[in-house]
């Protein structure tokens, strides 16, 4: 996107530009755009307590939202038929679901827990009004949940805003510096779920709130960090001043 001169000129005309992560800020600065780290606007959801006309009551429900969706062959097949063919040819589709392996380790789907699976996917033919209704329905469920486990950034960030305990399941990809960079400044404010063998000693992972999957007590999920609150206050102030 930043190789397009017209797009860069547009950003420059409206600078300074707030960025949800440090890598985006760095890339913008490299092409001459005045940019700063702002955090993500989704953390401002319900900041005044008026997101819902009738706020949902808290429940004992644990929501699993697109957990490890990039590695799940079934979800990949639903999303893209070509990916399904590729997964069948490479043998990936035959492997056990990484989601199920997570559930087995967590003990989430035993008889003592109320589990609901959600997905952010919707049909491409869905109307705009239906999409807004779908988003509101998900937000209501997030607000009322006891715990949310997800691999979606824009499920985890709204959970922070709504005060719902959330665990961001990202597997071993974070050990890859390139993969981490796009999340730098985002997952720093979350509790991140990793497996027992994950090596969290890499310099770029310093300060991340890691929790081992075999150490999680679903009945007593860890509280969310509160480092996003100061960023949220700044975003609310900026938006109010702009309006």
H-only helix segments in 18-147: 22-30, 73-79, 81-90, 98-106, 128-144
DSSP assignment letter at 177: H
Q: Is the pLDDT of residue 37 over 60?
A: yes
Most distant pair of Cα atoms in the chain: their distance: 57
What's the pTM value of the predicted model, to 2 decimals?
Answer: 0.85
* Element holding 236 (H helix, E strand): helix 228-242
Count of alpha carbons within 13 Å of 14, Cβ hemisphere only? Answer: 8
Beta bridge partners of 35: 17
Count of alpha carbons within 13 Å of 135, Cβ hemisphere only? Answer: 12
Q: What is the pLDDT of residue 226?
A: 94
* In the chain, domain spans: 42-228
Cis upstream peptide for 16 (omega within 30°): yes
Adjacency order of strands within the sheet including 61-65: 114-118, 61-65, 147-150, 166-169, 191-194, 209-212
Q: What is the mean pLDDT of the chain?
A: 86
Q: What is the pLDDT of residue 225?
A: 95
Query: For the segment 62-94, what is each residue's pLDDT rounded down to a tens digit?
Result: 999 988 776 666 666 666 666 667 767 776 655
Q: What is the pLDDT of residue 72?
A: 64
Among the listed ranges 81-90, 117-126, 185-194, 211-220, which one has the minimum average pLDDT value? 81-90
Beta bridge partners of 17: 35
Q: How confident is the model at residue 199 (pLDDT cuts 50, 70, 90)?
A: confident
SS3 64: strand
Task: Tell me the average pLDDT across 117-124.
Answer: 83
* Dihedral Cα 8, 9, 14, 19, nearest 10 deg: 10
Among the listed ranges 35-44, 84-93, 195-204, which one has the minimum average pLDDT value? 84-93
Q: What is the pLDDT of residue 117?
A: 87
Q: How far apart are CA 142 and CA 133, in angstroms?
A: 14
Q: Is the pLDDT of residue 172 over 70?
A: no
Please name the CATH architecture into which domain 42-228 falls: 3-Layer(aba) Sandwich (3.40)
Q: Is the pLDDT of residue 112 over 80?
A: no
Task: Tell me the average pLDDT across 196-205.
Answer: 85
Q: What is the pLDDT of residue 47?
A: 92
């Amino acid at each position: 996107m930043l190789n397009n001169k017209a797009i860069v000129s547009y950003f420059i005309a409206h600078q300074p530009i707030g960025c949800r992560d440090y890598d985006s800020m760095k890339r913008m600065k490299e092409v001459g755009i005045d940019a700063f780290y702002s955090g993500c606007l989704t953390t401002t959801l319900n900041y005044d307590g008026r997101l819902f006309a009738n706020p949902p009551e808290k429940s004992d429900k644990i929501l699993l939202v697109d957990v490890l969706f990039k590695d799940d062959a079934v979800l990949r097949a639903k999303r893209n038929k070509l990916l399904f063919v590729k997964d069948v040819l490479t043998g990936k589709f035959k492997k056990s679901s990484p989601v199920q392996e997570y559930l087995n380790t967590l003990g989430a789907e035993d008889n003592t827990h109320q589990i609901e699976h959600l997905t952010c996917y919707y049909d491409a033919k869905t109307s705009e009004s239906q999409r807004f209704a779908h988003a509101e329905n998900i937000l209501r469920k997030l607000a009322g949940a006891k715990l949310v486990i997800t691999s979606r950034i824009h499920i985890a960030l709204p959970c922070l805003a709504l005060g719902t305990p959330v665990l961001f399941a990202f597997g071993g990809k974070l050990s890859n510096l390139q993969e981490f960079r796009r999340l730098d400044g985002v997952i720093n404010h979350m509790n991140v779920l990793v497996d027992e063998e994950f090596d969290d000693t890499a310099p770029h992972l310093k300060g991340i709130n890691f929790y081992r999957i075999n150490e999680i007590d679903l009945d007593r999920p860890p509280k969310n960090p509160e480092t996003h609150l100061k960023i949220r206050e700044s975003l609310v102030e900026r938006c109010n001043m702009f309006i």
